[in-house]
Every structure is written in structure tokens, then in C-alpha cells.
Amino acid sequence: MAKIEPSIKSALTQYAVSNRGIFSYSQLAEFQHRFQLSAETLEALLLEVAATFATPPISQFYVGAIAWDDNAQQAFLGANLEFSHQALSLVVHAEQAAINNAWLNGAAEISKMTINAAPCGFCRQFMNELSTADALEILLPTGQTSLHELLPTSFGPDDLGNSEKLFAQHVSKSSMSGCPSNVSDNLYQHYLASYSPYTKNKSAVEIKLADGECFYGRYAENAAYNPSLSPLQSALSQLAMSGKNLFDVDLAQVTLLEKQGCANQKAVSLAVLASYGLADSLTHIEIE
């Protein structure tokens, strides 16, 4: 890629921070026209911008990814998120972060993924849970491929008799009557929209800052189990995509909402929060 003026990357980064890493296709077209960029150059720049949101205290490896939804005409950035002094299994991979960003913010499907490095096996398995997995395009610095080519003999939802897929799951239309008074409407709606076909543990997290700003996350299970994304990881990734982290913000409360009788997220949530010295901030609520 030809050398790009720092001011161009700065403008894209500022927009990404203000919009939590979400670009409409029309906004991207406007940036392309304003800065006289080719589509390929703009895409490469977006990957660089995505990688600036990474928090890799362990690997020092900055990874960016873009999830594209041609249906909603939007692009969603994501970056890897690591936790010091915690198990490596708790890391949020860039591909997970981009897909999570899309899922939480109204995307209808994932049409293709752009990544600045080949996806690891963990991420290939995570993407295999998508409703579009069979036709998913993967764009890499080395060229275009597909998830099917990267994961030719796959194990997925169908192998476990799960007819649901991530982005195509049934979302309950339950009324707010089942929601406790100390749970926000937004948290409850994310709880209902979580994806847990294997454990049936609907769960979601709300990170509330002292100024009232909130960040949400949902549980996203995977047929291979280990690549599942916890609701706290999901919410912390959203916090990171706004240019913030728990070390820098004035935290009011973290609320974990789970399904009674199926709850399985409290221990891992406490472990992650402990890495920030914030284990006492967790409020755990179970509902029927």
C-alpha cells in the first residue's frame, strides 16, 4: 500500500472511536471520495484502524478484523483483547470482536470477513457457527478464500442437532414482566437475544460507568464449546471498541444476568474482573 497521510488514518480512527467501530457503506464511500482512495487502500486502512483498538498485553500482537454485512450495508471493526494474569482461553480474538460488534449492533448476517492475518483454528471454528458459514468469504493480505476452504471438514451446529445459527437464532418476544426491577430494559433485551442452544443458559452483561454510559454483551455459544464467547468478554470488547478499558474508566457496576438453573458464567466473570482488581463490582442476578 502506498504511503498514506497520517491525517487520513486519524480521521478514520476518530470516526471509528465515536461510532464504536461501525461504518455504513455510504460513510465509507464518502471517505473514499474525500481522500481519493481506492477500495483496496481504504480496506487496508480500515484494518490498520481496527488493530489500533487491540489490547494485547501478553502477545504484543495487534490484530484487526472487519465483519461486513452487505444486507445492512455496514462494516464492523474488531480487535483482539487479552487479559493480564488470566488464562489465555479468555482472550477475545479480533474475528470474534468484529462478529460480536456486528451481532450486538443490528447486523442481519456476516457476508464476508477481512482480517490482517490468517485466522487461527479457534476463529475458524467460531465463524463456523454463523448462519452464513457455508458461503462466508475471507479476505486476507494474501488474497481471497472462503471459510469452507480454511475449514474443509468441519464440525458445527448441525452435528449436534442444532438447527439454530448465530444471527439466525430464535429470539424470544417475552415481555418485560419477567424482568426484575433492578435489571435495565436494555440488559434484559440482550439477555433474550443471547445465543445458547447447547446449555440453554441465556445470559448477558451490562457494564455501567459512573457517567451513566453503558456497554452490553451477550453469551454466544459454539458447537465446539471452547470457542464460545462469554457475555463479559462480549461487553468488554464493546468497551474496547469505544477506545476505553476498565483501567481508565470510572466504573459504577457490572451486572451479569443469567437463566436460573442453567447459570455458568459467574466464575469466569469474576476471574476476568479480578485481572482489573474489580471482582467486587459484579452483581449477579438469575431469573426464571
Question: Which neighbouring-strand residues pair with 145?
Answer: 138
d(CA 199, CA 222): 10
Tens of pLDDT along 203-225? Answer: 999 999 999 999 999 999 999 99
The response to whether 93 counts as a known ligand-binding position is yes
Farthest CA pair distance, the chain: 57
Total length of the chain: 288
Domains recognised in the chain with CATH numbers: 20-152 (3.40.140.10), 185-286 (3.40.140.10)
CA atoms 273, 216, 45, 12: torsion sign: negative
- The reported pLDDT for the residue numbered 101 is 99
- What are the residue ranges in the chain where pLDDT is below 70? 1-2, 172-178
Kindly report the backbone phi and psi dihedral angles of residue 128, in degrees, each rounded to the nearest multiple of 5, phi listed first.
-70, -10
**Which residues are CB-contacts of 42 (< 8 A; sequence separation ≥ 6)?**
28, 31, 32
Whole-Å CA distances, 210 to 39, 163, 249, 265:
40, 41, 8, 24
The response to whether 179 counts as a known ligand-binding position is no
- The reported pLDDT for the residue numbered 5 is 86
Indicate which residue of 95, 109, 129, 206 is catalytic.
Answer: 95
The response to whether 82 counts as a known ligand-binding position is yes
Question: Catalytic residue at 95?
Answer: yes
**Which residues are CB-contacts of 202 (< 8 A; sequence separation ≥ 6)?**
191, 192, 194, 196, 219, 258, 259, 262
- The reported pLDDT for the residue numbered 84 is 86
The response to whether 123 counts as a known ligand-binding position is yes
- The reported pLDDT for the residue numbered 266 is 97
The response to whether 148 counts as a known ligand-binding position is no
Tens of pLDDT along 92-119? Answer: 999 999 999 999 999 999 999 999 889 9
- The reported pLDDT for the residue numbered 118 is 92
